[in-house]
Structure 1
Amino acid sequence: MPRSLPVQNYEQQLYPWLMRQEYKALGWHRDKEVRDTGPYVNGDYYGTHPAVRIFYSPGVMKWLENDRQGDIPDGAMIIKEMYLPPAVIYQELEQDPKYQKSPKQYEKDLGELISGWTVMVRDQQGSKDGWFWTGPNAPKQGQSIAEATKAQLDDYSHPLYSSFGDMCLRCHASAESGFTFSALSNIKGMEPNQEPIRFLVDPSWRNPAKLTDDDYYPLTKLKGNAFAENLFGLTPWQRPWASRPPEEKASEYFASNPVDLAPMLLSHMRDLTEDSPLPEESLSSANNAITSQFKMAGITSPRAFPSQWADHVVAGPDGAQAFITSDNCLGCHGGLGGNPYGLVMFAQTGPAYGEGYNLSEYGEWRWSPMGLAGRDPIFHAQLESEMAYLEMDAKRMPSPLKGTLVENKTAVRNTCLSCHGAMGQRQLTIDAEKDRTLNPDFQVDFFYLSTKLNLKEKEPENYRYHEYGELAREGISCLVCHRIKGPSHQQVENWQPEYRDWVTRKADKSLAYMLFHNTTGRFIRGENEILYGPFDDVATKPMAHSLGLTPEGQPYTRDSQMCGTCHTINLPNIGATEDTFPILTAAETNPALKVYPHSIEQATFLEWQNSIFAANPDKKKTEFASCQDCHMPNAFQNFEGSVNIEPLRSQIASIQDVNYPESEHRLPNSDITVPLRENYRRHELVGLNVFMVEMFDQFPEILGVDKTDPMTSATNGADLAVENMLLQAKMKTADLKVDVLERNGNTLRARVTIRNKAGHRFPSGVAFRRAFIEFTVLDGETSIWSSGSTNQAGVIIGGDGKPLKTEFLSSPDDYQPHYQTITSQDQVQIYEELTQNAQYEFTTSFIHRVHHIKDNRLLPKGWRKSEHFKNQGELMVEFMEATDPLGVGDDPDYQDQGKRFPGQDAVIYEVTLPEKYSSSALNVRARLYYQAIPPYWIKQRLDAAPNGEATQRLLHLITHLDLNNTPMESWKLKIQEASLNLP
């Protein structure tokens, strides 16, 4: 049985047996003939499979003859021989007089024309659908069976093509029973008066080139067969117009209709049909600017993550457990990239399949920060530093730790992984409650565990935890968000805060309940049998058949509160002696962390809640926009602007539905109809962390991602994610304006005004993100005065061209304050949050944020001081205090004294230039830049855990990352630019 061996060992037995076609000697029933599974029109085949001839084991036949009642027994097999379409090739070939005289010879020669197999092996305990699916190709020209088997086993990079829970379920889940469309009418000797379904086949297949083109091997084996060559004998002029090459048709057209543009158009058409990928640039040399800036040397070879295709946890025989991997979802929710398979959730920009943009749920999620969170090298280095900081805490006297080092490490690690390794950490917790032999403490080493592929692989001591590692590498995967259930009315109404004044009658009790109970990744998980989504009218049976999950609509999926679960982070401040926020501390559920004072570490949801965008839409506030409105748009525009679709209409799944060719024993149309929706929501889910996506794009082998999309064959997933971010930076982040207030000879006064357009602070999220203004006075292209310029490593430099000492936060006073007026090139307006630990050292630790020094990040439009929420109770005040600015003084334009803040800031630049420029025509330029990874964060990773494997991996990536000629050149992302000429 497939479950009895690792998959490669099973394949080593199965593949040669198939290639030798030994199944033919068993006397199994087979199809009456090679048959099509769809039409063949104008050179394209529209079948759900290639042309097939199927063999059925006795267990399958007994089930079919019993009117498909009961269970198909374990060990039963369905073997599909696959042939290059259309089937009429083999049907007509059978009419060759020599084959009429010798059917055995036809069978022998037909076996030479098999291009591959698709096999189903019944093993009911392997998965919910109970089938093992695999599909080896036939040996290539000149290749032995042993060589073909070894080549396919060595290329085992995509287990979805040989596994339980295979992508074949995208179609087979639409079968009425047994996950097969097998019908007695197709089988030789059964129902003799019935013929297999016939599909339209036009003569476009009769192309003699197929007999000499290696792409059509094994049909080339027919070369020299006079009967076969006659089948392919039609000239292009006798085949359908659309089946001929575009340039051939164009040549004919322009020959009879000469125009001057003909050569150019002909060349353009040829470009569309030829595959000419751009050569990949070598990334073998280190980024000298980064290496030099941080004096990095001796970086070890990085530890690589297993391939994303090793993340494979399927629904069990009784249905899905709490969490399974996204490869169970991608078959239906991964899009289709054009003819002949269809076009679903895809914007096609060229004639080739997969030429365009995959806008499917899986396709965009895969390359989003949520889809990459489990493998994020930045996060793993941060977590490694946190463990190092805890070790330093334990050595300090007196120790700020109130628990043991092990207890604190365990608590912190599992808190962090409850989002970044959400499914693995949670599934382990669930399973450990039932199985006391499991240790619920999720270890980082689990991220490198995967299912054994063969018996020769040595099992590590912690191998039993491999499933949890596979789940964790998925980050914030499909079954995280689609498992989240909103709190019930009864839960909210029956909640009694410890102190009556925590929540008043004027408070939104549902919001208060959510903030206290369901932040820091603590969501309410629904039943294992239910999957939540935004739509009520969905086709439920295919998902229920294949996964044991029933999709169910719920309003909470469209509610920003769901996003607030992971985007409101309440963490301990180790080393703090005063508990400023007792309600935040009371909200902590982990006993090991509850002993420390708490504060909000990330407040993106709270920032949105405290903005004009969170206004109640029922009150007709026109500026309302939920998290989903911005980060899951119903429109698509590429960065160049050549594609612009609004609204975006699409099906939300691609299954074998009413759009597919006819098949036997399919579910009724009403059970499989997937409507075209005008409210389709993209899963782009991006912020501005272009640097992380670039790492995954340039180092897929190290980070374990596949750049070729499995459903659409598109290879631009990372590019699309970057384009999404660049569009967000350009259109949705901030506006910038520069005004010259006064020029008097060599002195200049100018004002730069920034208006925040985001629905939360900018920057938002983790504290080390920052934005800054580069203000430059130029003589032509030469800079003669600048505040905020950087070197190639993204380090801000002063007037002398050297890095500012404030860039590395080396001492308590070395930082840039919030400015209203800037007079020196060493002064820079940086929008950032800065904190210090108990020892008054600047820190990027998430759990040592004891002293809050500065937070002048741009506030969203409509922000109000936290004291505004006093009438709603202390709970709202404590949470909303995380949205208050710090260290901005009495800046009047930053903190408007009115009820609602306009969401902007202005900085005055007073510049004294050299006398020689007193009467020169100059210009001024202002740019707003964003850095996801500022210099001091890199330095603190080097200081905290320089030899840790996660830190070493990150250092390898950032010292080899090639940002030349990209929007992130010099380690900064430009958000906006404005300039004007000086008289």
Structure 2
Amino acid sequence: MSHFIHQHRFPVLLFAIVVVVLAMTYIQPSGKAEAFHTKDELDYFALRSNMDLPIGGNGLFKASGECAGCHGFDEIGFASVDANGNDVNVVDDWRATMMANSARDPFWRAKVSHEIMVNPMHKAAIEDKCTSCHAPQGHYASKFMGESHYSISDMLLDPVAMDGVGCAACHQQSQDSIGLLFSGKLKYTTDVLYGPYDAPPPIFGSPMMAWVGFDAQYGPHVETGDFCAGCHTLVTETIDLNGVLTGNHFVEQATYHEWVNSIYVDDQSCQSCHLPRIEDDVVLSTGYSFLEGRSPYGLHYMVGGNTFILKLLKDNISELMLTANETHFDTVIARTRDLLQNHTLDMELTAEGIEADTARYRVRLFNKAGHKFPSGYPARLAFIEFVVTDAVGDTLFASGLLDEDYNIIDRDEDYEPHYDVINHPSKVQIYEMVMGDVNGDPTTVLLRAAFPIKDNRLTPVGFSTSHFAYDTTLIAGLALTDENFNHIDGVEGSGTDDVHYHIPLNGYDGPLNVSAKVYYQAVPRKWLDEMFDFESDEIDLFRDMFEGADHTPELINEASIVDFVTSVRQPRPTERLKAFPSPTSDGFITIEVPESDRMQVTMFDVSGRMLFNESMIVNRRFPFVVPDKAGVYLIRIESQRAVYTTRVVRQ
């Protein structure tokens, strides 16, 4: 099939003029060559010089390089800067994201190759489906020109397709199909690009029409969660072990419908987290000094949770012919890590007492995401590392440790079931989706997936098994019978899970150091075993990159306590604390305790949610602060001699 790439002479002429002007700045009247720019400035410019973004078009879409001229970095600092002068241009924020690199992602390319090698008779359909979201600008341009299938080889010949989820892949989506089409079925306009701004001031669209031939229009749909539906719910057709379509379907990923089945659907869109807004007035285009700033402004961070592939991309920029540099990738990796560590998961670790030479603890996880965690591609998992050591640091119990290859130790060969109680180191709590084939055996071949054997991924707050979207967002396996999975006090929709750890002490009598950590792996080694049994150019390339990559999992959250076993063996009295003033108007209080020692200080709200939990040296009288929010707070202080409690009212 043919592709139509139109290049402008203007950027070439402009570049030549800039080169001449810069060269002239080095010639001083004395004849001595002196640098106009400092070394730091030159280093900064060097960082910005990388492989050019593609330009031109392919019959339906324009490449990102066509957008960068106006919406990219402004060297005079007028456009695309916030109120403090920080560069916030959408092009550089986007270019190192997984969205921008979706067509070049070597894991995706290897997995498509794997699926084709397992089911070669379905090659055309597999490539056509996979490119609909990973290379939509190539896929839908070919459909626009009447082609029935779009292939990987077609994609490789089209620079606009290799833009991945480029600017036009989102901003050219039609308003009338938003939230109605899924599984890569997208509907595009041919001559309109939509944005979030309406008049006044009037939309200044003439330059866009003149340079790229598109009419800039207000499209409120670009700010809705429904805007993401087309690619973030994917239902695939099931193929049996003989390569025959069964007529059944499998929900491979349903991040969009998970959001629909949550409390966030009414007032928080996907963009709230993934394109965070600033209230600054930001000028949208370079070259037009009369333009007024627009607010609010959506930062095109578009980060998810996949630091592993981002780091792998950064390490292989030249080989993969990427259009972002190391600095771009470092920025996106840092933003991704911030989302994972600060906006994904809360956790509580609570001592529940000693009984029959067994220490009991509860780990409560609280999902803060607007969808399941993990969500999206089924390789992804999160797990709990739970470790108990004695007074000298010797390990008494450990679950969820990793070996030198970053595999989870003692993980079952097929899959680890969901647990409510863990009482042996061989049991590990892993939050994941496990796909089953037509025989009920675990598989990582996407098109062999017939149903989920296990899906205990943490649900979002408000998630309900009676919701109309539940058939697309199933809980599967033993999590269904876990009374505290997505429930607190019997009420559904908590977005939580409680895991109870029962630790045999074997006569140990002393303090316990208890640690719980939640880690996340986007591409676990075990999930690749089936694919790595095959060989192709794409699989071999990814295997080499994978083996050379940094496999350190992402630490999402952690908690620790010191538990005093010696005195716990004898029932400890519970005594009332003195805390004043109560009520408190500013949150500052004084607590009096009848002893001084290292103690465990914990604070809860009236719902039982832990707000503070630290081991600290406590004097008989010490200051403490309760939260700003008005309410009643329970404070619990545990020493080796006694347990002290009190309630404080915050006005």
Instruction: Please give the range of the TM-score, normalised by the shorter of the 2 chains.
Output: 0.7 to 0.9
Q: Deviation per CA, 1:596-628, whole angstroms, max 9, x where unpaired?
A: 21132111010000000013xxxxxxxx21111
Contact 2:383-2:520 within 8 A present in 1 as well:
yes
- Counterpart of 2:511 in structure 1 is 921
- Counterpart of 2:69 in structure 1 is 331
**Residues 389, 220 of structure 1: alpha-carbon distance in 2 compared, 3 angstrom cutoff:** farther
Contact 2:238-2:245 within 8 A present in 1 as well:
no
What code does the residue aligned with 1:611 have? S
In structure 1, C-alpha distance between the alignment counterparts of 2:163 and 2:389, rounded to whole Å:
48
Q: Describe the SS at the equivalent of 1:688.
A: coil
Contact 2:374-2:457 within 8 A present in 1 as well:
yes
- Counterpart of 1:652 in structure 2 is 284
Q: Is structure 2 residue 552 aligned with structure 1 residue 971?
A: yes
Offset at 1:699? Answer: 1.3
Contact 1:734-1:754 within 8 A present in 2 as well:
yes
Match for residue 476 of structure 1 among 156, 165, 168: 165
Q: Deviation per CA, 1:464-522, whole angstroms, max 9, x where unpaired?
A: xx3xx31221111111111111227xxxxxxxxxxxxxxxxxxxxx96xx1xxx11121
Offset at 1:446? Answer: 3.8
- Counterpart of 1:222 in structure 2 is 31
**Residues 272, 524 of structure 1: alpha-carbon distance in 2 compared, 3 angstrom cutoff:** closer
- The alignment yields a C-alpha RMSD, in angstroms, of 3.4
Pick the structure with more strand per residue: 2
Contact 1:792-1:971 within 8 A present in 2 as well:
no
- Counterpart of 2:497 in structure 1 is 905
Alignment of 1:135-174 (within 5 A): none
Alignment of 1:608-623 (within 5 A): 608-615=259-266
Contact 1:864-1:899 within 8 A present in 2 as well:
no
In structure 2, C-alpha distance between the alignment counterparts of 1:982 and 1:651, rounded to whole Å:
56
Alignment of 1:635-650 (within 5 A): 635=278, 647-650=279-282
**Residues 525, 474 of structure 1: alpha-carbon distance in 2 compared, 3 angstrom cutoff:** same
**Residues 244, 542 of structure 1: alpha-carbon distance in 2 compared, 3 angstrom cutoff:** closer
Q: Is structure 2 residue 308 aligned with structure 1 residue 429?
A: no
TM-score, normalised by the number of residues in structure 2: 0.77
Offset at 1:974? Answer: 0.6
Q: Is structure 2 residue 402 aligned with structure 1 residue 790?
A: yes
**Residues 844, 347 of structure 1: alpha-carbon distance in 2 compared, 3 angstrom cutoff:** farther
Contact 1:651-1:680 within 8 A present in 2 as well:
no
Offset at 1:344? Answer: 3.6
**Residues 760, 593 of structure 1: alpha-carbon distance in 2 compared, 3 angstrom cutoff:** farther
Q: Describe the SS at the equivalent of 1:651.
A: coil
TM-score, normalised by the number of residues in structure 1: 0.52
Q: Is structure 2 residue 218 aligned with structure 1 residue 574?
A: no
What code does the residue aligned with 1:912 have? P
What code does the residue aligned with 1:222 have? G
- Counterpart of 2:597 in structure 1 is none
- Counterpart of 1:259 in structure 2 is none
Offset at 1:824? Answer: 0.9
Percent identity of equivalent pairs:
27
- Counterpart of 1:78 in structure 2 is none
Structure 1 residue runs without a partner (length 5+): 1-124, 139-160, 163-209, 230-242, 246-270, 280-306, 316-320, 350-355, 392-404, 434-438, 449-465, 489-509, 578-591, 616-623, 636-646, 659-672, 709-714, 799-803, 870-878, 964-969
What code does the residue aligned with 2:377 have? V
Q: Is structure 2 residue 540 aligned with structure 1 residue 952?
A: yes
Q: Describe the SS at the equivalent of 2:103.
A: helix
Pick the structure with more helix per residue: 1
- Counterpart of 1:629 in structure 2 is 272
In structure 2, C-alpha distance between the alignment counterparts of 1:416 and 1:906, rounded to whole Å:
37
- Counterpart of 1:309 in structure 2 is 52
Q: Describe the SS at the equivalent of 2:318.
A: helix
What code does the residue aligned with 2:255 have? T
Offset at 1:677? Answer: 2.3
Offset at 1:129? Answer: 6.2
Contact 2:440-2:453 within 8 A present in 1 as well:
no
Structure 2 residue runs without a partner (length 5+): 565-651
Q: Deviation per CA, 1:283-322, whole angstroms, max 9, x where unpaired?
A: xxxxxxxxxxxxxxxxxxxxxxxx953733348xxxxx31
- Counterpart of 1:536 in structure 2 is 198
- Counterpart of 1:691 in structure 2 is 308
Offset at 1:136? Answer: 7.2
Offset at 1:422? Answer: 1.0
**Residues 706, 570 of structure 1: alpha-carbon distance in 2 compared, 3 angstrom cutoff:** closer
Q: Deviation per CA, 1:139-189, whole angstroms, max 9, x where unpaired?
A: xxxxxxxxxxxxxxxxxxxxxx99xxxxxxxxxxxxxxxxxxxxxxxxxxx
Q: Describe the SS at the equivalent of 1:330.
A: helix
Contact 1:861-1:900 within 8 A present in 2 as well:
no
What code does the residue aligned with 1:477 have? G
**Residues 788, 487 of structure 1: alpha-carbon distance in 2 compared, 3 angstrom cutoff:** same
Q: Is structure 2 residue 145 aligned with structure 1 residue 410?
A: no
In structure 2, C-alpha distance between the alignment counterparts of 1:130 and 1:412, rounded to whole Å:
39
- Counterpart of 1:670 in structure 2 is none
In structure 2, C-alpha distance between the alignment counterparts of 1:703 and 1:274, rounded to whole Å:
26
Q: Deviation per CA, 1:440-476, whole angstroms, max 9, x where unpaired?
A: 533323444xxxxxxxxxxxxxxxxx3xx31221111
In structure 1, C-alpha distance between the alignment counterparts of 2:334 and 2:25, rounded to whole Å:
37
Q: Which has the higher contact order (CA 8 A, sep 6+)?
A: 1
What code does the residue aligned with 1:369 have? M
Q: Give the number of aligned pairs.
A: 550
Offset at 1:539? Answer: 1.2
Q: Deviation per CA, 1:847-882, whole angstroms, max 9, x where unpaired?
A: 2112421000001100111x443xxxxxxxxx5312
Q: Is structure 2 residue 621 aligned with structure 1 residue 892?
A: no
Q: Deviation per CA, 1:533-571, whole angstroms, max 9, x where unpaired?
A: 111232101111111111100111112111011101111
- Counterpart of 1:852 in structure 2 is 452
In structure 2, C-alpha distance between the alignment counterparts of 1:274 and 1:219, rounded to whole Å:
19
**Residues 409, 132 of structure 1: alpha-carbon distance in 2 compared, 3 angstrom cutoff:** same
Contact 1:787-1:827 within 8 A present in 2 as well:
yes
Q: Describe the SS at the equivalent of 1:133.
A: helix
